[in-house]
């Protein structure tokens, strides 16, 4: 049986602790892809379109309120801005 010296044992311990137990770089992971037939994707698309339409409505209402304000129609402007603020995306 082979006898190890203290220096040899120390070198073995140090090298075994220093060597990584797992690879230094992680294996590449494929990026998630959107499947066209995925129902979640369709739901998300509908929600995006719904929010864009509400923002369009809000902009149109705010534009009308600005016109009323430029014509010194303060009641119409306040009413228009209130209506625009109620349209939430």
Q: What is the pLDDT of residue 30?
A: 60
Q: How far is CA 37 from CA 44, 47, 50, in A?
A: 13, 17, 20
Q: What is the pLDDT of residue 31?
A: 61
26-40 residue pLDDT tens: 556 566 555 556 677
Q: Using CA atoms, how far apart are residues 78 and 66, in angstroms rounded to an integer?
A: 10
Average pLDDT over residues 57-73: 92
72-88 residue pLDDT tens: 999 999 999 898 888 66
More confident residue, 33 or 50: 50
Q: Using CA atoms, how far apart are residues 71 and 83, in angstroms rounded to an integer?
A: 18
Q: How far is CA 42 from CA 7, 46, 54, 62, in A?
A: 66, 6, 19, 30
Q: What is the pLDDT of residue 84?
A: 86
Q: Using CA atoms, how far apart are residues 88 and 84, in angstroms rounded to an integer?
A: 8
């Amino acid at each position: 049986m082979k006898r190890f010296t203290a220096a040899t044992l120390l070198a073995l311990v140090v090298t075994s602790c220093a060597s990584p137990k797992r690879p230094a770089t992680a294996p590449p992971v494929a990026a998630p892809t959107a499947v066209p037939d995925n129902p979640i994707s369709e739901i998300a698309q509908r929600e995006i379109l719904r929010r864009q339409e509400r923002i369009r409505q809000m902009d149109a209402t705010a534009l009308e309120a600005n016109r009323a304000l430029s014509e010194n129609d303060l009641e119409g402007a306040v009413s228009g801005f209130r209506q625009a603020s109620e349209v939430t995306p």
